[in-house]
Structures are given as structure tokens and as C-alpha cells.
Amino acid sequence: MAQRRAFFSLFILLAVAGVHGDSTMKTMEKFSGYPPESDDAGDLGSLSFSVDNNSLERQIDELAGFSDTSAPSVTRIIYSKNDILARRYIKNLMGISGLSVREDAVGNIFGRWEGSHPELAPVATGSHIDAIPYSGKYDGVVGVLGALEAINALKRSGFQPKRSLDVIMFTSEEPTRFGISCLGSRLMAGDEALAQLLLGTVDSHNISFIEAARSAGYMMGQQELSSVFLDHGSYSSFVELHIEQGPILEEEGLSIGIVTAIAAPASIKVDFEGNGGHAGAVLMPSRNDAGLAAAELALAVEKHVLESGSLDTVGTVGIIELHPGAVNSIPSKSHIEIDTRDIDEERRNAVVEKIHQSAVKISKARGVKLLGFHIVNQDPPALAAESIIAAMSVASKQLNLSSKRMISRAYHDSLFVARISPMGMIFIPCYKGYSHKPEEYASIENISNGVKVLALTLAKLSHS
């Protein structure tokens, strides 16, 4: 029913797209700003914008209707039926906004507003719309629908971009179906190892990535994953609008977060093997308990992270699995998965090495085997470009919006786009910092503020 309502609303939008003007907008929040000086100041001048809050809020609700779970939760997994329907919805909105639309071999979607100097490297913005099981409706979505509304606001103002402006919807930022986060943006950044890995990757139902992509209309014919790769400098700059996914902005009563750096994780999988045995019959001095080895390593993770001396260093033990998993059986095997993050790559990697050293010591002290210490990924953090930070800061001041510089402890598609383009991020407050759960919420007022800052930032960057 939710899907039908969404399609009906979209049909109405399409029907009136060619005839309606600003007069059909019920609520248009006006604001004006002066993008910083440019080489072509005459084209910028004083820009008067209008953000259509009603339309933006409705689109967020409609997109949430494409879900494998019922409201208020959202579940939208890569190449699923609802993911395909949601993609169509985004492409239709891009068309309504007058953007030229293209898709690459894995389904990254690009909507372009061609500038007066299309030979120049374009400016890009965007995010993702996939959602982990039972999550909320704002993560990523604000950065896609908000980007489209920023473009619409610029168009309504009469602004003409010099550099073309692209809105990008990235494929599978969440590591759900195939266990790979930021799949689309990693490939765009030229990750050849990932392209090779995907050729043999299957999901929990033994459906290969290639098969799933083709079922959604991608990877057709002679298309290769390498066709997704973009050259360094393909974009002059990239800006992503996103909910904070943390409580800082809300707690401090601030409107805008200007991201200066994105922390990146190192993910680790560790396996221990002991002797096991009956919980009552094997005496304590004789035990080689793989479960206690995992528990001790979990405490070591916390210890090493705290020893770093920085609040920016974090570590999490998210998974501990014991075999055979019976209350009256000593664990003979244990599996532990660890996530460590920092904006300082050297400091984070030092923590990873200390965790490895502890795993070795624990295995020897407890008489268990360290079957494996596998670093799944060890992505480098990324710094935002000073030029983009400056543009976002000036935009916030011109709009009289309170702001602060901050880091992103969650990672985003921007982390990988930074490998091919200067990058920046705009954060807006979200309720209690909730994310990846149905209670995730951002007010339309805060979303609108983010759209305003994004619009002015894009205006500046397009004329740089």
C-alpha cells in the first residue's frame, strides 16, 4: 500500500512537472545569500533561494515506502525489489528537476545540470538510499533528496552554474547483502582489488554479485566493473549532506556541522581454538577455554584504545561467537570481530598492532591456538579540503546559522570519493544522535538548513 501511495504521488508530480511553477508550492522557505567572490561575480550577485519544505518532506516519506519492513522502520537492500523501485523513484525526480540521468555498471546514478563551461571538471554532491534492516528513513536519503532540492532551489533563483553540477546516488553504502560497505564509491575510486573480489562474491543465498546486479538491470552485455572507475580529478569537488548520526549538534544547540575529517575503520577477525569439554568434569586448572580467550581479547581492545590518549580513537567488539554454544560445554572455538577507528591512520594502526600482540600473548597464556588474526580492511582516513571547508563556513555565516567544525566518526561515501576529488561534508542534527534504527529522525527545519548551506556551497564551488 505504501508503494502504491508513493507511485501515485510520483504520478501527480510527473503530471504537473511541465506546467507548475513556484505558485504550486505550498510552503517555500525563502532565504538569500551572497556566495563568496568568484571569477564571474556578475552571474552570482545576490541569490534569493526558496526551499520547498513540503515537497522535500513528502519525498522522504514516499521513499521510505519502498521498504521490506513496515513503517516506521526501513529496510532496503542492494538490488532487491524495493531497491529497484526506489532507484526508479530517484531517477524520475532527477528528470523532473531537468537533470540528464545516467547509470554505471553497478547502478551508481548520476543526474547532471550542465554548466556554462561543461569542459571544466564538475562539482558533485549526493549520498546513498540503501538501508540496513529495521533502520530509519533519513540516513543517506537526506543527502540525495536534499541535493536535488538544493539544485531545484538554485534553478528557481535563476542561478546559472559555470561548472556542471552532478547529484550522485551511490550504490550500497551499507554492507548488507554482500558484506562490502561503500561498494559503489569504492569502485568509482578505482578499487581494483574490490572489482576482482566481486567476481567471486555471493550472498547468504549463494546468489553471486554479478547475478544479482544483472537481475536489477546492471552489468549487462560486455560491461565490466572497471568501467565504473573514475580518473582522479573527474570532479573538482564533492560535498555530501548527511545527518550527524551522533548527539553533538543537538546537545550543543547548533544547526550545522562542518566536517574536517572522516575517521576510517580497520576491521579485524580473530579465531581461537581450545580443547573444550564438559563444564562439570574438566577442572579449572586443566582447561584451555577459547571463550575466555575471546573475552580477554575484548577487554584488551578497550585497554589499547584508551591507552592511545585520544578521544578520536575508538574500538568496538561487535561479534563474539562460541562453539558449540551450549551452557554446559566449555567453548572449544571462539570467533571475535573488532572495529577500530581513528582520523589518525598511524595511531589507529598502532592500536591494531597492540591488539595483535595481545591475541598472541593470550593464546600462549591460556594454551589455546590462535587460528587466525585477519585484518579485513584497513582504509585510510580522509581530510576535507580546506577550500570546501571555507565555502561551507562562509555559507553558514551568510545564512546566520550556528556551526562548528567536527570530525565524522562514521564513514561515508565521501571517504572514498576523496581519493579522486577534494571532499567536504555538511552535518545536520538528528534526534539524540539516533541512526540505523526506526527512531532515527531529523526535523524538516534542520534538513532545510542543510539544504540551504549545500546550495550556497555548490554555487560557490561551481564558479571556482
Domains and CATH numbers, the chain: 2-16+24-263+381-462 (3.40.630.10), 264-378 (3.30.70.360)
Query: 111 near 100, Cβ under 8 Å?
Result: yes
Q: How far is CA 71 from CA 62, 175, 437, in A?
A: 11, 22, 11
**CB-count exposure of residue 23 (10 Å: 0-12, 13-18, 19+):** exposed
Residue type, 45: G
Q: What is the pLDDT of residue 307?
A: 97
Query: 408 near 261, Cβ under 8 Å?
Result: yes
Q: Give exposure, 168-179, as e/b (b: 16+ Cβ within 10 Å).
A: bbbbbbbebbbe
Q: Give exposure, 421-440, as e/b (b: 16+ Cβ within 10 Å).
A: bbbbbbbbbbbebbbbebeb
- Collapse the DSSP code of 352 into the 3-class scheme (helix H, G, I; strand E, B; otherwise coil) and give the result: helix
Q: What is the pLDDT of residue 197?
A: 94
Residue type, 227: S
Please state the pTM of the whole predicted model: 0.85
> Do you find a cis peptide bond into 175, omega within 30 degrees of 0?
no
Q: What is the pLDDT of residue 33?
A: 58
Q: What string of pLDDT tens digits covers the 464 residues of the chain?
A: 444 444 444 433 443 333 333 333 334 556 655 444 444 433 444 677 889 999 999 999 999 999 999 999 999 999 999 999 999 999 999 999 999 999 999 999 999 999 999 999 999 999 999 999 999 999 999 999 999 999 999 999 999 999 999 999 999 999 999 989 999 999 999 999 999 999 999 999 999 999 999 999 999 988 999 999 999 999 999 999 999 999 999 999 999 999 999 998 899 999 999 999 999 999 999 999 999 999 999 999 999 999 999 999 999 999 999 999 999 999 999 999 999 999 999 999 999 999 999 999 999 999 999 999 999 889 899 999 999 999 999 999 999 999 999 999 998 999 999 999 999 999 999 999 999 999 999 999 999 999 999 999 999 999 99
Q: What is the pLDDT of residue 23?
A: 32
Of 414, 320, 356, 351, which Cα lies nearest the Cα of 128?
414
Q: What is the pLDDT of residue 46?
A: 63
Of 74, 56, 77, 64, which Cα lies nearest the Cα of 147?
56
The three cell numbers locating residue 407 = 570530525
Compute the distance between CA of residue 228 and CA of residue 420 in angstroms, rounded to an integer: 13
DSSP letter at 325? Answer: -
Q: What is the pLDDT of residue 30?
A: 60
Residue 141: phi and psi, rounded to 5, are -60, -40
